[in-house]
Chains A and B, each alone.
Chain A
Amino acid sequence: MSDLSYVRKEMLSQQAAPSTSVGVIGWMRENLFSSWLNGLLSLVALYLVYSVLSAILPWVFHSSWTANSLQECRQQISTAYGPDAHGACWAVIRERYLQLIFGFYPSELYWRPILAFGLALLALAPVLFTGLPRKMLQGSLAAPFLVPWLLWGGSFWIPVSAALGFVLGYVAFRVVSSLAGSLLGLIAAVAAAVIWWLTLASAWVGVMDGVIPLGIEAISSRNFGGFMLSITIGLVAITVSLPIGVMLALGRQSNLIIVRAICVGFIEFIRGVPLITLLFVASVLLNYFLPPGTDFDIILRVIIMVTIFASAYMAEVVRGGLAALPKGQYEAADALGLDYWKAQRLIIMPQALKISIPVIVSTFIGVFKDTTLVSIIGLLDPLGLSNAIRANAAWNGVVWELYGFIAFMFFVFCFSMSRYSMYLERKLRTEHR
């Protein structure tokens, strides 16, 4: 029995997988040609990719970087690549990239916007990346005062006096709320800060300038332009709109009918009209709404309107976060005996904001993209500058290079931000499971 010759005694060595299911061929069979329809689709897609790349790549690389005008560009390209070659004139980017980035900001002061945006990034870092030490958040508080000062310049005491308003408000809140309760404390805080800013602050700045003249060269916002302008508008709008948006969202969720009606009306009105009409308001109407004789510059007006616009959207984002919180969280806060503001500050907001961070980031991307609209009312953002550059006789007719560069820059900014928000989403999801 035991010597049955057809029973194999030792294991056979494993055979290699068929060559059609491993390696490049196997991958292609599985992912590109799994059925005849898929194969057809792949071929069509390949042809599409080929035709797009064969149209664009030669144009991108048969280019001139050194010319000083469009004519010179065309000459250089036709001598280098033959008379039929169509090439990009990247020379316009080489000559004007600083202008596209900084607008007409004085070139010897470029360090200021760079430092300001670096500071802003540093201040945002502990908010964006939870791995960083929480202590950094205290440093972030200084950024809203330092960044505008670096950008616009002027006396150092202006940002200090603005910050002093908040300090005064805080002191007033502590003193009054210990005497007469938190509601009166809040009112006293707001009153103290507003009185300081409206009446005493400017006098105080004058006095301090007399005693210790400390300041940097003031730059008028007329000189702002290019990506610096876009980033300034976007950054200010998003930082200011977040607290306003939180307040609006709370107002919309509150039980107080009148407060809720005001908030809903504001949010729906702003979200119902296009941004361009709000920019029209900034450029032609805002002066009607302010006391006669008030006149401040167009960039500030635009920033105000974009901020209002972003606040309404932010309110809806935060409301989404509030709605996503389980009802038990509100009830648990009530059960602990926390009052409304304590519950919001300690229980609700930290969780609601954490849920909505990805959407906040996409709102920021949206606002940043929308800053291009300011070119319609005549500000020199990158798109407005590209028209200004084409108005120059040397570069008249340069279209694709400028649009391509601007699109590329926006893509880099927005794409990296959207990747960041996806990273956040992934991280938050694992935390909840």
Chain B
Amino acid sequence: MTTVSDAPKATFRLSMLIYDTRYRSMTIQVVALFAFMLMAAWLINNTAQNLAALGKPIDFGFFTERAGYDINQRLIDYSSNSSHLRASVVGLLNTLLVAVLGCALATVVGVTIGVLRLSKNWLVARIMTVYVETFRNVPVLLWIVFFMAILIENLPPPNAFRGADPAASMLFGDSVALTNRGFYIPEPLFSRGLGDISIFGAFNVSLELLAVLAMLVGGFFAAGLIRKRADRIQEATGVRPTTWYLRLGVIVLPVVALLYALGFYLGYPALKGFNFQGGIYMRNSLIALWLALSFYTAAFIAEIVRSGILAISKGQTEAAAALGIRPNRIMSLVILPQALRVIIPPLISQYLNLTKNSSLAIAVGYMDITGTLGGITMNQTGRELECVLMLMLVYLVISLIISVVMNWYNNRVKLVER
């Protein structure tokens, strides 16, 4: 006769911390946390000791002190009497400026080249391959100094535009001047302007710009409504109304009307004294950085676009045609949504790379945040720890914002699988 004994009473023994898989993961985590904290404490302790020995405790007070240096490319008012904080903000805006310009140009160039690389034309496809390989396999820093050298060595100085028979002439009917100091382009001006609005008492934002932006946003919103209505009509009747002129008009017309009401005109640069006056001045360092980053990143974007298009199998096009969809609708309804799902995530990480690479501005003297906060401010105040940590924090925040956007998009377009 067998007796059923109870399961062995679970008593906790110390050795179970290691041998029992239920507790072992706990043990490992506690050990890891302990080691991590020990390491962090060691680093912080070292830092504190070193800083105490040097006699400079951590202090962010220098941000309110007078900066004392000039920044020659800036989006907001700044003078050498402004504070280090304002200098950093000017730098941050410059970083964002070159990042936005760079992303836009890189996308245009990259998509063009990626599509042309798939061209049936042998010569064009080969040229694009050469472009991609050349730009991908040479460091971006080299491209930046290279473009800077091209601008400095090959473009005429401002005084070449002077005289009755100048050696150089302005482009597009005397509106754009390309000099070795930078580019001068016309600036938008308003004869019946609305003035500026001050935000936080720190920045002046022109109301005209805000008004135009608001009009644009409203226009796009209205265009979206018109498209939704077209969708509804198509679902109900099977016939899609032609709406492209309506949508275009609702975006363009209000903006044009607003610009007319504000008395929009262009202010052209003109040679006065030793240099050009008027217009928007883009320094050669900005141009070099912008072009180099764009063309470098465009090579990567071209590859992304190419592989995205190749990833959509020919059967998709054929299936759509078999369903009776017209060729231009096949592109927008079947191919692009699928290709974009492949293209967008690596594309955004290229934007992120471009933004991080814009920190190389320091090599050509463009005053981005690395040049102001991590360059002159750091050298003047001697606050290396604070400056570098703030610099890292700024870039980290930019990266996090971009990756949040990327994750949001990924989740939106993700295939819903079983």
Contact = CB atoms under 8 A, between A and B. Distances in A.
Given A288-B50, A399-B149, A414-B137, A276 B121 contact: no
Contacts of A369: 137-140
Please list the 8 inter-chain residue pairs (A to B) with the smallest Cβ-Cβ separation, ordered nearest first.
Answer: A272-B399, A31-B122, A414-B137, A274-B356, A369-B139, A274-B359, A284-B384, A372-B139
Interface string B117-128: 001111110010
Contacts of A262: 32-33, 36
A403 B29 contact: no
A121 to B, nearest CB: 19
A292 B49 contact: yes
Given A262-B36, A284-B384, A383-B139, 20 more contacts: A32-B123, A41-B121, A41-B124, A46-B123, A184-B18, A256-B28, A257-B29, A258-B29, A258-B32, A262-B32, A271-B399, A272-B396, A277-B395, A284-B388, A285-B384, A373-B141, A376-B141, A376-B360, A399-B153, A414-B138
Interface string A249-285: 0000001111100100000110111111100110011
A255 B21 CA distance: 13
A183 interface: yes
B25 interface: yes
Given A280-B391, A287-B50, A414-B136, A273 B127 contact: no
B400 A277 contact: no
Contact of A411 (B18, B24, B138): B138
23 contacts: A38-B121, A41-B121, A42-B121, A181-B19, A258-B29, A258-B32, A273-B396, A274-B359, A274-B395, A276-B360, A276-B362, A277-B370, A277-B374, A280-B374, A291-B46, A369-B140, A372-B139, A375-B363, A376-B360, A376-B363, A399-B149, A403-B142, A403-B149
Interface of B: 18-19, 24-25, 28-30, 32-33, 36, 43, 46-47, 49-51, 53, 119-124, 127, 133-134, 136-142, 145-146, 149, 153, 356-357, 359-360, 362-363, 370, 374, 378, 384-385, 388, 391-392, 395-396, 399-400
B302 to A, nearest CB: 14
Contacts of B142: 372, 383, 403, 406-407, 410
Nearest to A46: B123
Most buried by B among A38, A41, A372, A414: A372
Contacts of B363: 375-376
Contact of A418 (B18, B137, B357): B137
A370 B139 contact: yes
A277 B137 contact: no
A45 interface: yes
A289 B146 contact: no
B414 to A, nearest CB: 14
A423 interface: no
Interface string A87-114: 0000000000000000000000000000
Interface string A385-410: 00000000000000110010011001
A272 B18 contact: no
Interface in A21-47: 31-32, 34, 38, 41-42, 45-46
A418 B356 CA distance: 23
Contacts, number: 153
A22 to B, nearest CB: 16
A159 B153 CA distance: 50
B137 A411 contact: yes
A336 interface: no
A272 B398 CA distance: 8
Most buried by B among A257, A287, A369: A369
Nearest to B45: A291
B385 A285 contact: yes
Contacts of A411: 134, 137-138
B121 A45 contact: yes
Contact of B356 (A273, A285, A406): A273
Contacts of B392: 273, 277
Nearest to B122: A31
Given A280-B388, A399-B153, A415-B133, A376 B362 contact: yes
A399 B357 CA distance: 23
A381 to B, nearest CB: 10
A49 B124 CA distance: 10
Nearest to A374: B141
A406 B33 CA distance: 46
B395 A34 contact: no
B388 A289 contact: no
B28 A259 contact: yes
A115 interface: no
A268 B399 CA distance: 9
Contacts of B29: 256-259
Contacts of A406: 142
B385 A288 contact: yes
A272 B36 contact: no
Nearest to B30: A258
A259 B32 contact: yes
Contact of A410 (B33, B127, B138, B362): B138
